[in-house]
């Protein structure tokens, strides 16, 4: 059956989308790395090791974010949502553990966050894909 409403036009070039994807990864990574370093130093002095910790954390976050962003769309909706939930839960759990709380509390809160992300993303992918997993629109 032919489509009655036209699709929203894409006014940006593929190069612009690629640049935006990389820029978002760098900005999120730097914010995440700074946040982790700030939690890790616990209001103490900024040291070289603290700066190095923040930069390594930012780099690892960026690499994992780009990997998830590249792999997740190729998966079925359940695994797609599960991958984003696992990434978000682990990222949250790592930040929470830098605050000095127990591993048990960090794990429980991380699982709660991951479950909420899974439900949200699964619902989004379920309502925006057909039965075979092809995106609608």
77: enclosing H helix or E strand: helix 77-98
Residue 2 scores a pLDDT above 70: no
Convert the pLDDT of each residue in 3-56 to its tens digit: 555 566 677 787 888 899 899 999 999 999 999 999 988 878 888 899 999 999
Count H helices, E strands: the chain?
4, 0
CA atoms within 13 A on the CB side of 85: 20
What is the C-alpha separation between 137 and 122, in angstroms, rounded?
18
pLDDT of residue 3: 56
- Tokens of residue 67, six digits: 């990997």
Query: Which residues have C-beta within 8 Å of that of residue 99, sequence separation ≥ 6?
Result: 39
pTM for the full model?
0.82
């Amino acid at each position: 059956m032919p489509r009655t409403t036209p699709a929203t036009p894409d006014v940006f070039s593929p190069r612009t989308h690629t640049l935006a994807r990389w820029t978002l990864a760098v900005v999120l990574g730097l914010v995440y790395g700074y946040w982790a370093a700030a939690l890790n130093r616990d209001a103490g002095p900024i040291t070289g090791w603290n700066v190095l910790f923040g930069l390594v954390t930012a780099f690892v976050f960026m690499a994992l974010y780009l990997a998830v962003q590249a792999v997740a769309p190729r998966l079925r909706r359940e695994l797609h949502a599960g991958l984003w939930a696992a990434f978000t839960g682990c990222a949250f759990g790592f930040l929470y553990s830098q605050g000095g709380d127990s591993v048990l509390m960090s794990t429980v809160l991380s699982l709660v966050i991951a479950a909420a992300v899974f439900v949200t993303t699964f619902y989004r992918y379920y309502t925006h894909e057909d039965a075979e997993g092809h995106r609608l629109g």
